Amino acid sequence: MNSKRTTVDLLLIGAGPVGLYGAYYAGFRGLTVAVLDSLPQVGGQISALYPEKNIYDVAGFPAVRGQQLVDNLVAQAAPFEPVYVLGQEARSLRGEPGRMVVTTAEGSEIVAGAVIVTAGAGAASPRPLPCGEDFLERGLHYFVPRLSTFDHKDVVVVGGGDSAVDWALAAVDRARSVRLIHRRRQFRAHEHSVARLRASGCELVLDAQVAGISGTAAVDAVSVTVQGEAEPRKLPAQVVVAALGFIMRLGAIADWGFEIENRSIMVDSAMRTSVPGVFAAGDITAYDGKVKLIAVGFGEVALAVNNAAAALRPESGLAPGHSSDVTVLAAR
């Protein structure tokens, strides 16, 4: 038996908020579920780009931090024990409804009765810091799942967009020192955030770029080339966050036979795609009147899961019933 093979009723491709809510709903409908994502952690763009920012348009939450929303969604799905296949990109699809096989670029296989694509803007890969790849996860990070990583450390953040400024602001109250390096004097980030950064204890190193990272078991120095200085300046750093943005693409799923318009997958009112057995929900979908909001994606993935459940188990019907009547959730 292939040790890299996972067999479930339903596969969700994309572990952002919509995919995570889909994992809960699949469990609620009695389906086993796997969640596949090209990023090495759940949460999608929220965890990668703005985990510490408040989100204000999620029903029932006047305000919720991005990472808190992700953590809550993971906890909501946890009683149903979804299988997470992370850091792997979907490559090929074969089979037919009832037994579909998705193979990843890393060689894993997920066998599922149905598939729901919840990939947001598509597969994401961070823009690399060219001189630092040898130190990836050995001091160099493209996103930081837990802010405790910054505690009592010398932190260097590289970039000038919203995510870079957000990481620097998040580190200021926890780290021993924080420096932000940006190759320009002007920021792409929101003006209010930049004003907060300038008023904080973060040192801004502008018109500069990282020339190299040195260290052994962990990063202990960063060489920074500052425009106008004759020699590179070395800054202490145990944590380097390269917030240079992400490359978003549909990837191999663009060749699976979907009807695609403007990099979005067309779906019908049941969230079915043009490929039998494959549904889609969230920002990756398109239809007349589509609005790209997390709130909309939650509703779409509930539709997709219920229609997939009815297709896999016709005797169960489309209507899910009321969660308040299901005592197993409270018991768990």
Strand (E) or helix (H) holding 167: helix 162-172
Which H or E run contains 264? strand 264-266
Provide the b/e sequence for 77-113 (b: ≥16 CB within 10 Å).
beebebebbeebbbbebeeeeeebbbbbeeebbbbbb
**Read out DSSP for 44-92?**
HHHHHH-TTSEE--BTTBSSEEHHHHHHHHHHHHGGG-PEEEES--EEE
Does the annotation list 21 as a binding residue? no
Q: Which conformational region is residue 269 in: left (phi greater than 0), alpha (psi within -120 to 50 degrees), or beta?
A: alpha
209: buried, middle or exposed (CB in 10 Å: 19+, 13-18, 0-12)? middle
State which amino acid sits at residue 273: T
324 carries a ligand binding annotation: yes
> Do the Cβ atoms of 123 and 246 come closer than 8 Å?
no
Distance CA 178, CA 174 (A): 9
**Strand ranges in 57-202 using DSSP code E only, listed in sequence order:** 64-65, 83-86, 90-96, 99-104, 109-117, 123-126, 140-141, 154-158, 177-182
Q: Which amino acid is at 124?
A: A
Strand 140-141 vs strand 239-242: parallel, antiparallel, or unpaired? parallel
Strand partners, 86: 37
- Does 283 appear as a known binding residue? yes
Flag whether 45 is marked binding: yes
Binding-site residue positions: 37, 45, 50, 90, 283, 324
Binding-site residue positions for FAD: 37, 45, 50, 90, 283, 324
